Structure 1
Amino acid sequence: VQNPVVPYHDYTAAKAALMSLTRTAAGDLGPLGITVNMVSGGLLRTTDASAATPDAVFDLIAGMTPLRSVTTPQEFADAILFFASPWSRAVTGQNLVVDGGLVRD
């Protein structure tokens, strides 16, 4: 949704729907003290879904990010742990993009 470089229309539409659901649920559940957020990642190095991705693609993506690396599943999980912690208690209705800075908008 933030940077559709490949024309996966079904994926992009589903991601947009999840963003809308996140924001709507945050508004509905906020008065009850419940926060609702979304964490989005790009290509993760390496998962079952990206296992067949050639190293050249990982290198290309890494070169396009300010951190010059492809996010690992562990780094992605760190962001999720933030939302599970009390440090995120004032954050709701947000989409945190965890991709090494590839998407910057």
Structure 2
Amino acid sequence: MKYFDGTKWVLVNNKATEDISTLKQDVETLKESKVDKVEGKQLSTEDYTTAEKSKLAGLSNYNDNEVRELISALNLRLTTLEGDYEALEARVAALETPAA
């Protein structure tokens, strides 16, 4: 195939194509295999099953207040245990220190 750049003919892909019907067939083949964009949809495939889509559609907002309260209680308990551990270490150190 070649095209005219305004001053001379330029070969495309280093070969001149005279057969317009072959070119037309190639264009038609490409046109037939193209995917049209549909409003509200993506061009990629979705691998969700109908059952999975229904399950996801049935979910509502998750209330994690109980989990947050449990985490707060555990953090408080951890702080208390850390304090107890430090007090225990101090007591052991005092017992291990010989009396003067």
Shorter-chain TM-score category?
A: under 0.3
TM-score (norm 2): 0.22
Larger radius of gyration: 2
Q: 1 or 2 for the larger relative contact order (CA 8 Å, sep ≥6)?
A: 1
Q: Which has the higher helix share?
A: 2
